[in-house]
Amino acid sequence: MKYTNSIEIALPREKTAQLLADPAHLPKWLRGMVVHEPLSGVHGQLGTKSRVVMQSGKRKIECTETITRRDPADLHEIPEGTVVHFDREIVGAGMWSVVRDRLTEADPGTTHWEQESEYRFSGLLMRLVGRLMPGAFHKQSQQHMQDFKEFAEQGKDVREESVR
């Protein structure tokens, strides 16, 4: 299953890239994030493998994420016209996924974020979930992007919603 989502962020590309690449910010915008800890490498850098645990209702999902592309490596001085790339591979029980993020400058104060996702499933249950619920994956990805937008632009933290 493959799909693409996109959103506009009202921040310059460099600032958007820095926020998106910083693992310390993940719990603020990635709903259900329980753990994101490096197993090898430097958190958020190319080649780093991390243990990721997500909570979805009463279910906990554990997987391994590997950063397969981060270009440019230095996000503080991105040359004009450069497309920022963040790619990662995610492997869990019965699931393999690759996510490719592309950040382009829509105008000097706005970033266009495009995310391409691909999922493959193994095992009867996971293949059934993938076939019966492809829209749920697409919708969840768009929700994560919307949550990031609200975090980046307004400082909104998704964890505060559950407190209300």
**Tens digits of residue pLDDT in 3-46:** 999 999 999 999 999 999 998 899 999 999 999 999 999 988 99
3-state class percentages of the chain: helix first, strand second, coil last, to nearest 5? 30, 45, 25
- Domains of the chain, with CATH numbers? 2-158 (3.30.530.20)
Band the pLDDT of 108: cuts 50, 70, 90: confident
**Tens digits of residue pLDDT in 80-104:** 889 999 999 999 988 899 999 999 9
Q: Write down the pLDDT at residue 164.
A: 47
Q: Write down the pLDDT at residue 9.
A: 98
Which residues have CB under 8 Å from 28's CB, separation 6+? 151, 157, 158, 159
Q: Write down the pLDDT at residue 59.
A: 87
- pTM of the predicted model, to two decimals? 0.89
Q: Is residue 163 scored above 60 in pLDDT?
A: no
**Tens digits of residue pLDDT in 66-84:** 999 999 988 888 888 899 9
